[in-house]
Structure 1
Amino acid sequence: MGAFSFLSRVLHTKPSNYSKILVLVSVSSGGLIAYAESHSNNETKIVEQSQPEPKRKRVVVLGTGWASISFLQDLDVSSYDVQVVSPRNYFAFTPLLPSVTCGTVEARSIVEPIRNILKKGNGKIHFWEAECLKIDAKEKKLHCRSNIDENLVGNNDFSLDYDYLIVAVGARVNTFNTPGVLEYCHFLKEVEDAQRIRRSVIDCFEKAVLPGLSEEERRTNLHFVIVGGGPTGIEFAAELHDFVHEDLVRIYPEVKDLAKITVIQSGDHILNTFDERISTFAERKFQRDGIEVLTGCRVVSVTDEFINMKVKATGENVKVPHGMVVWSTGVGTRPVVTDFMEQIGQTNRRALATDEWLRVKGCEGVYALGDCATVDQRKIMEDITSIFKAADKDNSGTLTVDEFEDVIEDIIISYPQVELYVKSKHLLEVVDLLRDYEGNKQGEIDIEGFKLALSHVDSQTKSLPATAQVAAQQGAYLSRCFNRWEQCKRNPEGPRHFKGSGRHEFRPFSYRHLGQFAPLGGDQAAAELPGDWVSMGRSTQWLWYSVYASKQVSWRTRILVVADWTRRYIFGRDSSRI
C-alpha cells in the first residue's frame, strides 16, 4: 500500500524543476509498470511492459520404476517442465519382492511415495496418477486415463502434449501364450502380486488342515510349483522354503511333512545367466533342502488342478498336481508399448528398439528406458571405412601402430562391443588386435587387414538383461545427457566424432555390470561380482543385506527394511493372511 500511495502523490504533483517524471514500480505479477508524466501535453501515459520467462521444453516421463526415478533424481528440473504419469503413486524396491511374499519384509517397507521423491524439485515436477493408454507420436500427444475411483466427480480421461517423452513403463510377465497361465498362476512383478502370493500360501496351509481331507489332497494343496529358474523364481523358492520350515511347520505341525516345493526350468540348469559355479552350487543346495528341480521341462498348459509339461529329453507328457503356481519366465511388452511399436514400424519385436543414446528409432523426441526397451548397438563394421580414414592421418592408405593407438580409445567409447571383445580374448593391450596369425606385430596395416582385425567384434554385442541395475544406469545416463544438452545446446544423440574438438560430448550409453546376487535361503547367498569374482555362503548373505539396505531410495525405507530383517530374526515371520 505504501508504494501505491507514493505513486498517487507523485502523479498529482506538478513539479517545477523538471518537465517529466518516470516512476518504475515492481508488482507481484513479475512485470514492470512504467508511469510517465509530460508537461508538454499534460497527459499521463501508462505503459505496461511484461517480461515473461522463456517457455521451457516439456518432458513427460511414463512410469515410476527404476529408470524413471533414476532419471528424475539427477535431472536439472529448472531447465524443463517435467511431468510424470504412472498408475501407481510410489516407487517399489522390486529386488525385495520375493521377501515380501513370505513376510520376511513388509510391503510398505520397500515402497516410497513418489511425491516424497519428487520433493527435491520444489514443486517443479508434476505427478499425475493415471495410465497412459496411447502414445500419438505424430501429434506428440499422450492419451491418459486416471485409475482413481470412478465414483469421484470429474473426467478420468485427459491428454498431455510433450516435447520429449521418456517411456519407462516396464514390462509385464511373458506367458508365451501358454493356456491357463493367466487364469491359474501367480506372478511376481508388482507389490500387489507379492501380497496375493502371501495370502495364497497361508490359504494353502489353512485348507490342508481342514478335517475330512485325504492325505493325497493335503499333499496336493501343499505342493508349491515355481515355473522358471531365473533369479526371481529361485529367490522366491528359497524364501518359501525358509518360511515353511522355519515358521509354518511350528504353526501347522500336523502337515509339516507334506509340504513340497518344485522348480520347473526349461533349460538345462537354473540360474543360467550366472557363473556356472553359482548354478551348480544352487542346484546342490536345493537338493539338500529338499527342493525338487526339474530341468529340461516345458510347461504346455496349466489347469486349476494340474500342470501339464513335456520332458524335452524323452518327449513324455507329465501331469503335476499343484496347490499354487508362481509363473516367472521372462517379460513381455505392455499394450501401450505394443501399440506404439506398431505406429512407428517396430513390429515383431519384444521391446522398443533404441539407438546408443536411448532414443527410440524412427521417432523424434522419444526415449525408452528399462525393461520396455532394448539398445540396438551400432555395428562397427558399418562404419569401418570412416573409422579407418579418420585414423589414417597422413592419408597413406595404411595404419601404423601409433595411428591405431590414437583412435582405439574413441572406438571403444563409441562401440562398447570392442571392449567386450578385448576382455573375452584376455588381451593385455588393444594394439594386440594388429598381430598377425603368428602373433607378431605388424608395422602397418591396410584397410583389409583393419577390417579383418575387427571382423569378429560385433559378435560380442549382447542384449542387456531386464534388471533394475540396467534401468537405473540408463536413467542416470539420460539425465546427464539432458543436463548437458541444456548447457551446450546440442543434441544428446551425437554426432559421433573420432577427431577434433568437442568429440564425445554425448557418449553413447555403456552398461557397466556391477555384479548380481542370488539369495538361496538358510542365510546363504551367491554373488557374481566384477573381476570374475564368485562368492557363496553365509558371508555373502551379509554382503547382500548391506548392499540392498544401502540401495534403498530413502532413509525411511532403509530403516524399515533393516527393522524387518531384525524382527524376523527375533520373532520369526508373520503368518497372518493380511
Structure 2
Amino acid sequence: MLPLQRQALRIRTPLACPANSLQSAHTIFSKISPPNRALPLRCLATQVDRSTALPQSENQKERVVILGSGWGGYTLSRRLSPKNYSPLIISPRSYFVFTPLLTDAASGSLDFSNIVEPVRDPRSKVDFIQAAARAIDLKKKTILCEATVVKSGVTESPRTEDRETEEGPETTSKKPMQNQRLWEQGETFEVPYDKLIIAVGAVSRTFGTPGVRENAMFFKDIGDAKRVKRRVRECFELAVLPTTTTDMQKHLLHFAIVGAGPTGIELAASLRDFIYDDMMVLYPTLNAIPKITLYDVAPKVLSMFDESLSRYAMETMKKEGIDIKTSHHVKSLRWGPPGGSSLHEMDPKRCLTLETEEEGQVGVGMCVWVTGNAMPKFITQSLGTVDFPTNSIHAFEGSEEVPASAEQESWQFKKAPRKGPLLVDGHLRVQLQNEAGQTAVLRDVFALGDNAMPETGAPPATAQATFQEAKWLASHLNKKDLNQTPSFSFRNMGTMAYIGSERALMQIPHEDAGHTRKYLPDGIKGRTASLVWNAAYITMSISWRNKFRVAFRWTLNKIFGRDVSRF
C-alpha cells in the first residue's frame, strides 16, 4: 500500500511558526552563533528532519500514529525503524512512567523524576503532540484530537464516571471538584495516518461502588502517586494538631488499600516501611496508632501466585503490622466520621468512612483503590459505529474479497462482551463486526496493551505483556512480514511482588513455549527475592540515566532514610 498522501493539518491554531518569526530568529542567532555552524530551526523540538505533524509531501515514509505514551505506545515508538516509518505519538501526557516503581515514588523511596522518561528525546526520531484522541475516521484515515497542553489534571485518574473527557479531577462540574474552566478547552484538529496504533491503556474499575470514583485515590499515574504521597504526610500533620481528638487521630492514621493484587500489596508494603521506619521517628507521640488495612473480595492475596507464595505473603505482612481482610465487600466511601450523617461535603481536614458488608463503617484517612481495569471512554464511547472502510480491509470472514454490499451494512468496532476491550486478531489488528456477526480485519489499525484482547489468547494485564506485544509488533512492521509470521504469543518471564521489610516474592514460570521445566523451584521468597526484585527493576529501567539514579537513591535511603517532605 502506498503511503497516505500528506494533507494539511486542520487546526484552529497553526502549529507551524510564521515565516517572518523564523527569519527574525535566524538573524538574531546568527550574530551570536559561530559562522560555520548551521542553526537548526524547528517549531517542534524533536530530532526528526521535520515534524511529521506538518505537511510533508516529499517524505515517503509511512506515518505511524500512536495513541498513548504508556508501555505499549512508548516501547513501539522507540523500536520502529526510522528508515521506513515516521512515528508520531499523540498523548495527553508528555512522558512515560515506569509503573513497577510507582509505589516506591509514592512512599518517598524515589523521586518522581527517577521513574519518568520524556516522550520528546533528542536521541530518538519520534514526534509528539500533546493531545487526547476524541474520534477516528477509518475512511478518511484521520484522528480527531483535542490539545491538552494547558489542561489541568492530565497526570491523574479521572474522578467521576460521567465525564466527557478523561483528563484529571479538576475539569469536572461534579462536586467536590470545581467547574471546567473555559481556557481548559483545547483546540481540536485532525491528524492523518498511514498506520494507527491504539494503546490508550485502561482506567481504574470501581464496580459502581457509591462514592469511590469521587472520594477514593487511584494509582495509575504520576499525579495519583503524588496525591497518595502528600495525603499520608498530611494525615500525620493533622493528627498532631492540638485540636485533633484521639478518635480522629485513629481515623486519620488508618490507611486503607482496596485490592490485593501486586500493586495493592506493594503499595501497602512500601507505605508500611515508610511509616514505621521513617515517620514514627518524627512523630513519637503517635506511636502504635498508624494502621494499614488491605481489603479484597478474593479469599487470598496475590491470586496469580502459587498457594505457598500467597500464604507466605499474607503471613509475613501480618507479622509486619498490615491488617489483611480478604473476602470483604466494599459498599461505599464518603467523607465524614463513622456513624454520622451520610451527607458530608469533602473535608480533607477530617477523615472518610469506608463501609463494608462484613464489618460495617470504619474511619480512614485515605482510601487507595487498586482493584482492576476498566476501559476509558475513548474505547467505550468514541469507538462505536463506523463507516465501512473498504480500502483498509485486510480480510473479510477469512477471505480477502470484500462483498459490494458491505458498505451498505452497519459496522462497529469488535469488542469483548464484558469488559469492552477491542478484540484483535493474532497479529494485533483491530476488527470490525456487523449486525449479522460477520468480521472484517483492518490492515492498518492495530491495538495492544490493556485496551486490547487478542482472540487467540489474552495475555495478563501487565506491563510485561504489553511490552512484549509492542516489541513483537514493531519487529514485524520493520520486517514487513506481518502476514507471514505466526500469531503473537506471550512468554511468561515470571512475576514479582515486594511485601515489605526487604522481602519479596518471585513466581517462576514452569512452562515456556510448550516445554515444562520441572527442575525449577516454584518460586523465590524473602530477602533473596528482594535482591532479585531490586536488580530486575534497575535493569529494566529505560534510560541509563534513570538506572543510575534509582540505584543511587536506594543507596542514599539506606544511609539517610526516605524523603519525608510534603509538597
TM over 0.5: yes
Given that residues 135 and 142 in structure 1 are in contact (C-alpha distance below 8 angstroms), is that contact kept between their aligned partners in structure 2? yes
Secondary structure in structure 1 of the residue aligned to 2:551: helix
Q: Which runs of 5+ in 1 are unaligned?
A: 1-51, 312-316, 378-460, 495-504
Given that residues 133 and 145 in structure 1 are in contact (C-alpha distance below 8 angstroms), is that contact kept between their aligned partners in structure 2? yes
Whole-angstrom CA distance in 2 between matches of 1:245 and 1:536 = 22
Check 1:152–1:345 CA distance in 2 against 1; reply closer, same or farther (3 A cut).
Answer: closer
Whole-angstrom CA distance in 2 between matches of 1:173 and 1:114 = 24
Secondary structure in structure 1 of the residue aligned to 2:139: coil
Match for 2:563 among 538, 556, 574? 574
Counterparts in 2 of 1:117-516, with a 5 A limit?
Answer: 119-121=123-125, 125-149=126-150, 156-304=187-335, 305-311=352-358, 318-343=360-385, 344-346=412-414, 348-350=417-419, 351-362=421-432, 364=442, 365-377=444-456, 463-485=458-480, 492=482, 494=483, 505-516=484-495
Secondary structure in structure 2 of the residue aligned to 1:297: coil
Whole-angstrom CA distance in 1 between matches of 2:353 and 2:414 = 38
Secondary structure in structure 1 of the residue aligned to 2:243: coil
Given that residues 94 and 130 in structure 2 are in contact (C-alpha distance below 8 angstroms), is that contact kept between their aligned partners in structure 1? yes
Kindly provide the amino acid, as one letter, of the partner of residue 218 in structure 2.
Answer: F
> Counterpart of 1:446?
none
Displacement after TM superposition at 1:138 (Å): 3.4
Whole-angstrom CA distance in 2 between matches of 1:544 and 1:141 = 43
Secondary structure in structure 2 of the residue aligned to 1:84: strand
> Counterpart of 1:537?
526
> Counterpart of 1:433?
none
Check 1:258–1:170 CA distance in 2 against 1; reply closer, same or farther (3 A cut).
Answer: same
Q: What are the Cα deviations for residues 399-421 of structure 1, in whole angstroms up to 9, with x where unaligned? A: xxxxxxxxxxxxxxxxxxxxxxx
Given that residues 265 and 294 in structure 1 are in contact (C-alpha distance below 8 angstroms), is that contact kept between their aligned partners in structure 2? yes
Kindly provide the amino acid, as one letter, of the partner of residue 320 in structure 1.
Answer: V
Greater shift, 152-161 or 561-570, is seen at 152-161
Whole-angstrom CA distance in 2 between matches of 1:149 and 1:524 = 42
> Counterpart of 2:95?
90
Whole-angstrom CA distance in 2 between matches of 1:290 and 1:127 = 46
Kindly provide the amino acid, as one letter, of the partner of residue 96 in structure 1.
Answer: L
Q: What are the Cα deviations for residues 129-167 of structure 1, in whole angstroms up to 9, with x where unaligned? A: 111122223332111111122799997221111121100
Structure 1 runs (4+) deviating above 6 angstroms are: 150-155
Check 1:299–1:152 CA distance in 2 against 1; reply closer, same or farther (3 A cut).
Answer: closer
> Counterpart of 1:435?
none
Whole-angstrom CA distance in 2 between matches of 1:135 and 1:558 = 38
Check 1:59–1:178 CA distance in 2 against 1; reply closer, same or farther (3 A cut).
Answer: same
Given that residues 197 and 446 in structure 2 are in contact (C-alpha distance below 8 angstroms), is that contact kept between their aligned partners in structure 1? yes
Q: What are the Cα deviations for residues 162-183 of structure 1, in whole angstroms up to 9, with x where unaligned? A: 1211001111111111110122
Whole-angstrom CA distance in 1 between matches of 2:374 and 2:86 = 31
User: How large is the RMSD of aligned CA atoms in angstroms?
Assistant: 1.9
Check 1:202–1:54 CA distance in 2 against 1; reply closer, same or farther (3 A cut).
Answer: closer
Whole-angstrom CA distance in 2 between matches of 1:165 and 1:262 = 43
**Higher helix residue share:** 1
Displacement after TM superposition at 1:340 (Å): 4.2
Q: Which runs of 5+ in 2 are unaligned?
A: 1-56, 152-181, 336-351, 386-411, 433-440, 511-519
Whole-angstrom CA distance in 2 between matches of 1:178 and 1:127 = 37
Given that residues 209 and 331 in structure 2 are in contact (C-alpha distance below 8 angstroms), is that contact kept between their aligned partners in structure 1? yes
Alignment: residue pair count: 418
Q: What are the Cα deviations for residues 173-202 of structure 1, in whole angstroms up to 9, with x where unaligned? A: 111111101221111100111011000000
Whole-angstrom CA distance in 2 between matches of 1:64 and 1:154 = 21
Whole-angstrom CA distance in 1 between matches of 2:287 and 2:565 = 18
Displacement after TM superposition at 1:237 (Å): 0.2
Q: What are the Cα deviations for residues 207-241 of structure 1, in whole angstroms up to 9, with x where unaligned? A: 11111322111000100000000000000000010
Kindly provide the amino acid, as one letter, of the partner of residue 119 in structure 1.
Answer: R
Whole-angstrom CA distance in 1 between matches of 2:319 and 2:150 = 49
Given that residues 134 and 378 in structure 2 are in contact (C-alpha distance below 8 angstroms), is that contact kept between their aligned partners in structure 1? yes
Check 1:208–1:155 CA distance in 2 against 1; reply closer, same or farther (3 A cut).
Answer: closer
Kindly provide the amino acid, as one letter, of the partner of residue 354 in structure 1.
Answer: V
Given that residues 70 and 473 in structure 1 are in contact (C-alpha distance below 8 angstroms), is that contact kept between their aligned partners in structure 2? no
> Counterpart of 2:110?
105
Q: What are the Cα deviations for residues 310-337 of structure 1, in whole angstroms up to 9, with x where unaligned? A: 23xxxxx621211110000001111111
Displacement after TM superposition at 1:101 (Å): 0.9
> Counterpart of 1:57?
62
Residue 506 of structure 2 is aligned to residue 527 of structure 1 = yes
Whole-angstrom CA distance in 2 between matches of 1:260 and 1:154 = 42
Displacement after TM superposition at 1:345 (Å): 4.1
Displacement after TM superposition at 1:83 (Å): 1.3
Whole-angstrom CA distance in 1 between matches of 2:413 and 2:555 = 52
Residue identity over aligned pairs, in percent, reads 36
> Counterpart of 1:428?
none
Displacement after TM superposition at 1:341 (Å): 3.9
Displacement after TM superposition at 1:349 (Å): 4.0
Given that residues 86 and 130 in structure 1 are in contact (C-alpha distance below 8 angstroms), is that contact kept between their aligned partners in structure 2? yes
Displacement after TM superposition at 1:110 (Å): 0.6
Whole-angstrom CA distance in 1 between matches of 2:105 and 2:184 = 35
Whole-angstrom CA distance in 2 between matches of 1:55 and 1:208 = 63
Kindly provide the amino acid, as one letter, of the partner of residue 330 in structure 2.
Answer: V
Given that residues 360 and 366 in structure 1 are in contact (C-alpha distance below 8 angstroms), is that contact kept between their aligned partners in structure 2? yes
Whole-angstrom CA distance in 1 between matches of 2:543 and 2:117 = 8
Secondary structure in structure 2 of the residue aligned to 1:360: strand
